[in-house]
Amino acid sequence: MILWLLFAVASGYDQSCHDEGRCDASSMVQMKAGATQAIDCDGWVLAAPGTDCSDTCGADLCTAESIEKMSRKLFNGWRRLVSECFGVVTRTADRNVAFADLRYAPFVLYERILSEEGQFEPIQIVEQQTASSCDAKRANETNKYGRRICFCSSSGPVTGDPHITTLRGDHYTLLKQGTFLAWSFRKTSFNSGIQAPVEWQLLASYSGARFTTAGLLLIDHTHSVMELTAKDCQWRGRQPGGEWHNATVGVNGEDRPSYVEVIDLNRTIKGHLHTGSVMKLKMKEEDQTNSVAKLVTHCKPGDRLDFIVRMYDQDDLDHVGGELGAPKHRAEKQVSFLSSKHMVNMKTDSEFEVPTAWLTLGGSEEADSYLKTRMQAGAGVSLTQKSCSEAERICAKHLEESEAFADCVFDVCNGGNEADAEAAAEMLAE
């Protein structure tokens, strides 16, 4: 199982990028190589003049490592990034510097238009001769200023059985079967003078011999339920009192205070081994519709499913609960399953366990039966300490040294195989 719980926030964003459908207003980003592919703008932010990336993202949402890592994924130049993501077209080229060669903090340089008082125009992409760190900034001048190009991300990848990284930066392993509240969101919608409660819950069922994620239940308490299990990897939905039906791409319940927009369904990943789906959770506020979160799932039929939750607005963090929104606490115990330099933090998450039956929670009878069978298969399973040198070798083929790497070794060493390492790498590339 690969469970990802991530948060990223963008500010100072050019709205034209969103309006024209070229990118998301925020979230994590994975840039795809190749001159003909569209740039995914998730996570990239154009900072306000005179501010740095720590100011823009928040101190906990910017790291030099993330900036360097995401920059290396691009091969089309900074000029194309700011054009497609921020709607900013620079007057001159950016010296044709490829992302893989750029080692310094990038800025969009603006200069005053002398013929138009008070007006500035973007000239070119420039570098500041300092490490591409979060606190690099450019002082404003009378006739020019710079706007820093930032990448905002908080917690790193979460991979495992399940391995969880929260919005507060906690990272731990949950080795316990059951249904848990992975994420929740509660807020009041103010739209056209009308107040309405918005409440979502994302429940995850962890089970089987390796405690993999077997099912997800997305509940919008105003009007709908959506369900996904590893049995067939098919998202299904149901309205109150209605029948279950296969989900389709598009919007359902757009006239309500909150709704789900399905962006992508059953996209083939890695041949026919996995399918991927993407949906956005939206709510209406102050006569406009805002994206609250994005849910990304990868699923292998008959095996496991992996998921990512991404938040869009830092201010919404106060409205998030469940495992993802929990404050950071000390691990209940630490176990060395790997080498001497790798430790696995363990928690039980008892406060988020939901003892109610899946069917009673709103799930389908078919899913309820499937998940019970998975629970029975995992009953009495325990993981023992062992040498994991071969698992480390396998994971090193697909992942760099990181928490994701350590989680991969844990998985492969305890009954997994190279497919688990490949699945982790696929999520990193999502």
pLDDT tens digits, residue range 271-316? 556 788 989 999 988 778 888 888 889 898 888 888 888 887 767 8
Backbone angles phi, psi at 271, to 5 degrees: 70, -125
Please write the tens of the pLDDT for every residue from 122-152: 888 887 766 567 888 888 888 888 898 887 7
Average pLDDT over residues 401-425: 80
The pLDDT of residue 158: 36
Q: Is 93 helix (H, G, I), strand (E, B) or coil?
A: coil
Mean pLDDT, rounded, for 248-261: 87
Per DSSP, the chain holds a count of helices (H) and strands (E) of 10, 21
pLDDT tens-place string over residues 3-58: 444 443 333 333 333 333 333 333 222 222 233 456 667 677 888 888 888 777 76
Please tell me the predicted confidence (pLDDT) of residue 69.
64
Tell me which residue of 132, 55, 124 sits closest to 99, measured CA to CA: 132
Please give the Cα distance from 27 to 18 (Å, whole number): 13
Q: Which helix (H) or strand (E) holds 373?
A: helix 365-378
With cut-offs at 50, 70 and 90, classify the pLDDT of residue 372.
very high
Task: Say which residue, 343 or 76, is predicted with more confidence.
Answer: 343
